[in-house]
């Protein structure tokens, strides 16, 4: 019985741990990127979700990626391939600025 209890506890802990994976998602909302700085690891896939009623882009000259237009309600995924701190902007709304940090 005791062994079973320990096993159950261990399983529960593992399940809780699995739930704690940090989502690698940036919300585009109110013409801002949230969070404005996101840190990920090389190989991680990052998703930008456009929650505004008009298109935005995720464009980084530093990192060399450009989502092109992401329509309202749509998302775009990018897999981080190189380490560094990359600033990006929306080519349609130049006041929008954020950073992707890849470790």
Partner 1 sequence: MKLSIVVALGSLLLVPAAKSFAQDITDPQIAAIVVTANQVDVEAGKLAKSKGSNKEIKMFAEQMITDHTGVNKQAGELVAKLKVKPEENATSKGIKEGGDKNLANLKGLSGAAFDKAYIDHEVAYHQTVLDAVDKVLIPGAKNDELKALLVKVRPAFEAHLAHAKQVQGSLGTM
Q: How far is the CB of 11 from partner 1 (least distance, A)?
A: 42
Q: Cβ closer to partner 1: 51 or 83?
A: 51
Q: Cβ closer to partner 1: 55 or 99?
A: 55
Task: Quote the CA–CA distance of 14 and 7 in Å, as a whole number.
Answer: 11
Residues making contact with partner 1 (CB under 8 A)? 29-32, 52-55, 72, 90, 92-96
Q: Cβ closer to partner 1: 39 or 59?
A: 59
Task: Quote the CA–CA distance of 96 and 36 in Å, as a whole number.
Answer: 9
CA neighbor of 48 nearest in space, from 89, 94, 5, 102: 89
Q: How far is the CB of 68 from partner 1 (least distance, A)?
A: 14
Q: Cβ closer to partner 1: 41 or 97?
A: 97
Residue 68 tokens, joined: 């092109």
Element (H, E) at 5: helix 2-19
Q: How far is the CB of 71 from partner 1 (least distance, A)?
A: 9
Backbone dihedral region of 88: left (phi > 0), alpha (psi from -120 to 50 degrees) or beta? beta
């Amino acid at each position: 019985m005791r062994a079973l209890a320990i096993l159950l506890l261990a399983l529960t802990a593992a399940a809780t741990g699995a739930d704690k994976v940090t989502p690698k998602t940036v919300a585009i909302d109110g013409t801002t990127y949230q969070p404005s700085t996101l840190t990920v690891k090389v190989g991680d896939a990052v998703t930008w979700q456009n929650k505004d009623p008009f298109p935005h882009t995720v464009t980084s000259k530093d990192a060399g990626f450009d989502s092109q237009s992401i329509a309202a309600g749509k998302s775009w995924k990018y897999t981080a391939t190189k380490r560094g701190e990359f600033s990006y902007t929306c080519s349609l709304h130049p006041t929008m600025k954020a950073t992707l940090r890849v470790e």
